[in-house]
Amino acid sequence: MTRVAVLGGGIVGLSVAWSLVGRGLEVVLVDAELPGRSSPVAAGMISAAAELEHGEPDLWELTSLSQRRWPEFAAALARCGGAPLQLRRTGTLLVAMDQDEEIRLDRRLRLLADAGVAAELLDRSELRRREPGIATTVRGAAWLPNDLCVERNRALNALRSALRKAGAELVEGVGRLRVTGERVVGIDVAAGTVFADHVVLSAGWRSGTAAAPGVLPTDLSGHDGIRPVKGELIDLEVAAPAVHAMIRTRVDRVPVYLVPHDDHHLTVGATSEQVGADTNPTVRAAHDLLVAATTVVPELRDAAIVAHRVGLRPAMTDNRPLLGSSPRPGLTVATGHYRHGFLLAPLTAEIVGDRVVHALSQGDLS
Ligand code: GLY
């Protein structure tokens, strides 16, 4: 049986590995619990339109397509993983808290209209009817009804469980690519080498250092290669539901999102800083995020802080994911998903799964 090794067990590596077992390949996934992983702290927003301002237009093609794949992806995963995923159509409210933000909201709506997204403008009374927890000082809001939210841990656990049930091997350890001549032939871990006919590199921001110098393309491993973008998030517990939809806004120019997971839990996110591989939670981030969150939803002052988490998003210089390209035989790359790991997981799994099968069919065997 043809064997593929996947380096990295975040949402991208797991999803790719699952698509590979579905294509009849033997899969070994190598993963280590290192600090700064982004998947276990992700808010789980599947909201291409709400992220549009952050992305370049051609990213929209990928994110909007992948969002449409999520319901089917989640249903198939629930069947194979043996437990339902918590994928909910909560919608997103883009909220303007002051006049500048109202102007910005207008610009966003035009950008969305150009992309073919119909966002519904809500007046204050309609907004307060839907979300009574939002501050009375709110200026305006737009409603994106199709946005989804997935509970990160359920999705990650379902993928691990689906992989095990399908006979994939999950190896714990820090891995590095093993190269013989020009060809990538496996993954070195402390206990030895996992040899494989093909290797997928999906190690997040660490992908650039997953091989000896000169092995990886410079856009991945060079000075301007993949970089960590630090994101801090706060998980809160509330006595009663504070909001029903995902909320996105800026308060004094601090971007903030609120993501309700159930009636009692929500995530407030996220900072975005290029400060290297720093995984320290900071007072500044907690202060900024919580001031912004409680300005939008004042009753969050009574919430309990459950966790302050830090994740390092893997970003390429153009903020687009690197899917497939590798000058090395035996290697396919799937990394650089930046803010969009969960959002892009179904499409990445499909694209990379097809590319690996194509490479193998072309005789790209070790
Ligand atoms: N996907 C949202 C974030 O990275 O903060």
CATH number at residue 261: 3.30.9.10
Q: Are residues 123 and 271 in the same domain?
A: yes
- Whole-number mean pLDDT of the chain? 94
Q: 56 lies in which domain range?
A: 3-80+152-224+318-361
Q: Are residues 76 and 209 in the same domain?
A: yes
Which residue did the predictor score with more confidence, 326 or 193?
Answer: 193
C-alpha 172 – ligand 1 centre gap (Å):
27
Mutation pick for ligand 1 pocket among 37, 45, 67, 274 (CB with most ligand atoms within 8 Å): 45
Residue 217: predicted pLDDT: 84
> Taking Cα atoms as reference points, which of 228, 214, 201 lies closest to residue 316?
228
Q: Which atom of ligand 1 is least distant from the CA of 233?
A: 5
Q: Are residues 123 and 107 in the same domain?
A: yes
The stretch 168-172 carries a mean pLDDT of 97
Q: Are residues 231 and 290 in the same domain?
A: yes
Using alpha carbons only, give the angle 77, 152, 150 rounded to the nearest 5 degrees: 70
366 inside domain: no
The stretch 103-119 carries a mean pLDDT of 90
User: What CATH number did the domain enclosing 18 receive?
Assistant: 3.50.50.60
**Angstrom distances, CA of residue 86 to CA of 34, 43, 77, 156, 244:** 26, 13, 11, 11, 15
pLDDT at residue 55 above 90?
no
Tens digit of each residue's pLDDT (9 = 90 or more) over 293-317:
999 999 999 999 999 999 999 999 8
C-alpha 356 – ligand 1 centre gap (Å):
28
Residue 56: predicted pLDDT: 67
- 84 pLDDT band (50/70/90 cuts)? confident
Backbone angles phi, psi at 82, to 5 degrees: 85, 5
Instruction: Spell out which residues line ligand 1, taking CB within 6 angstroms.
Output: 43, 45, 231, 269-270, 313, 339
pLDDT at residue 188 above 70?
yes
Amino acid (1-letter code) at residue 353: G
Residue 365: predicted pLDDT: 55
Q: Are residues 162 and 295 in the same domain?
A: no
Q: Are residues 169 and 242 in the same domain?
A: no
307 inside domain: yes
205 inside domain: yes
285 inside domain: yes
C-alpha 121 – ligand 1 centre gap (Å):
24
The stretch 169-188 carries a mean pLDDT of 96
Structural domains in the chain (count): 2
Q: Are residues 299 and 174 in the same domain?
A: no
The encoded tokens of residue 302 equal 């009574």
Q: Which atom of ligand 1 is least distant from the CA of 313?
A: 4
The closest residue, in CA terms, to atom 5 on ligand 1 is 270
- 82 pLDDT band (50/70/90 cuts)? confident
Q: Which atom of ligand 1 is least distant from the CA of 38?
A: 4
Q: For residue 33, what is the DSSP state? A: -
pLDDT at residue 175 above 90?
yes
Mutation pick for ligand 1 pocket among 339, 343, 344 (CB with most ligand atoms within 8 Å): 339
Q: Which atom of ligand 1 is least distant from the CA of 341?
A: 1
Q: Are residues 189 and 106 in the same domain?
A: no
C-alpha 32 – ligand 1 centre gap (Å):
22
Q: Are residues 234 and 279 in the same domain?
A: yes
Q: pTM of this prediction?
A: 0.96
pLDDT at residue 115 above 80?
yes
357 inside domain: yes
Is residue 292 within 8 A of residue 256, CB to CB? The reply is yes
pLDDT at residue 71 above 70?
yes
Residue 326: predicted pLDDT: 79
The closest residue, in CA terms, to atom 2 on ligand 1 is 339
pLDDT at residue 225 above 70?
yes
**Angstrom distances, CA of residue 206 to CA of 15, 34, 212, 221:** 18, 10, 13, 9
Q: Are residues 166 and 276 in the same domain?
A: no
Count Cβ atoms within 10 A of the Cβ of residue 137 and give its class: 0-12 exposed, 13-18 middle, 19 or more buried.
exposed
C-alpha 134 – ligand 1 centre gap (Å):
22
Tens digit of each residue's pLDDT (9 = 90 or more) over 324-351:
877 789 999 999 999 999 999 999 999 9
Rg (alpha carbons) of the chain, rounded to whole number: 21
Q: Are residues 184 and 327 in the same domain?
A: yes
9 inside domain: yes
C-alpha 43 – ligand 1 centre gap (Å):
7
The closest residue, in CA terms, to atom 1 on ligand 1 is 339
Share of the chain above pLDDT 90, in %: 84
246 inside domain: yes
19 inside domain: yes
Neighbours of 285 (CB within 10 A): 22
* DSSP conformation letters of 219-280: HHHSTTS-EEEEEEEEEEE-SS-S-SSEEEEEETTEEEEEEEEETTEEEEE---B--SS---
C-alpha 8 – ligand 1 centre gap (Å):
19
Q: Are residues 205 and 338 in the same domain?
A: yes
